[in-house]
């Protein structure tokens, strides 16, 4: 009886040890799997954070480069506009000076002379502002002969400050040599030249 009891105790101990070892192995496997899952999750999270950080860095770099490029374009545009304004002011002063000198009367006389020689011009009207009318009239009469002056009408206008306009064939065509028109024409021409030079320098 004692032997059977001892065998029973030994069997219970043995079964308990096996069960404990099995349970321990199961717990260990679960812990290992959990640890691997945690590590995998951590690696995935770290990789995601690195990718997000890289994407954000790339975005910020591109945004900064775009901002620098735009600032450069804006600076260039502002500079061109400033040069164009300065150029127009210089041209305006030069044209105004030329139109207020004796050279203006000679220029008008030459223009009338050249236009009146064109075969397709039947009549010509020279339009100047009120202030220039008398001086131009005297200069034209003194410089041009009667044949050229025939068919030429001198007329005053308050619609522009300086310079002159020519109307031909009863006003069917107008040619504008007013201060404003000449300044605009020369400024546009010179601005294009300056813009081309600035582009070459880029």
In a domain, 41, yes or no: no
CATH code where residue 179 lies: 3.30.2320.30
Q: Are 125 and 94 within 8 A, CB to CB?
A: no
Domain count, the chain: 1
pTM of the model: 0.58
Three-class SS state of 100? coil
Tell me how far apart the alpha carbons of residues 164 and 157 are, in angstroms, rounded to a whole number.
Answer: 9
Decide if 95 contacts 175 (C-beta within 8 A). no
Q: What is the pLDDT of residue 9?
A: 65
What's the rounded Cα separation, in Å, for the pair 91 and 105? 19
**For residue 167, is it within any domain?**
yes
Q: Is there a domain that residue 173 lies in? A: yes
Q: Is residue 146 assigned to a domain?
A: yes
Which among 201, 200, 179, 192 is positioned nearest to 83, based on CA atoms?
A: 192
Of residues 161, 101, 117, 108, the one with CA closest to residue 137 = 108
Q: Which helix (H) or strand (E) is 77 found in, with range?
A: helix 2-99
In a domain, 185, yes or no: yes
- In contact, 100 and 162? CB cutoff 8 Å: yes
Q: Is residue 152 assigned to a domain?
A: yes
In a domain, 113, yes or no: yes
Residue span of the structural domain in which 142 resides: 102-201
**Which residues, given as ranges, of the chain have pLDDT below 70?**
1-3, 5-6, 8-13, 15-17, 141, 143, 145-150, 201-202
Residue 160, CB half-sphere, CA atoms under 13 Å: how many?
20
DSSP state of 161: S
Is residue 8 situated within a structural domain? no
């Amino acid at each position: 009886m004692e032997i059977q009891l001892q065998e029973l105790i030994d069997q219970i101990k043995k079964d308990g040890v096996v069960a404990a070892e099995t349970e321990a192995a199961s717990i260990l496997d679960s812990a290992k799997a959990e640890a691997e899952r945690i590590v995998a999750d951590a690696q995935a999270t770290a990789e995601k954070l690195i990718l997000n950080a890289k994407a954000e860095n790339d975005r910020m770099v591109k945004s900064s480069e775009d901002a620098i490029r735009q600032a450069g374009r804006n600076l260039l545009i502002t500079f061109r506009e400033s040069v164009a304004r300065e150029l127009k002011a210089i041209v305006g002063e030069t044209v105004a000076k030329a139109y207020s000198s004796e050279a203006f009367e000679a220029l008008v006389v030459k223009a009338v002379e050249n236009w009146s020689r064109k075969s397709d011009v039947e009549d010509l009207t020279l339009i100047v502002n009120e202030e220039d009318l008398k001086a131009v009239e005297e200069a034209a009469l003194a410089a041009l002969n009667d044949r050229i002056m025939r068919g030429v009408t001198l007329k005053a206008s308050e619609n522009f400050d300086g310079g002159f306009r020519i109307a031909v064939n009863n006003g069917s065509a107008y040619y504008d040599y007013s201060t404003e028109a000449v300044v605009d024409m020369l400024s546009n021409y010179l601005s294009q030249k300056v813009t081309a030079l600035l582009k070459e320098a880029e």
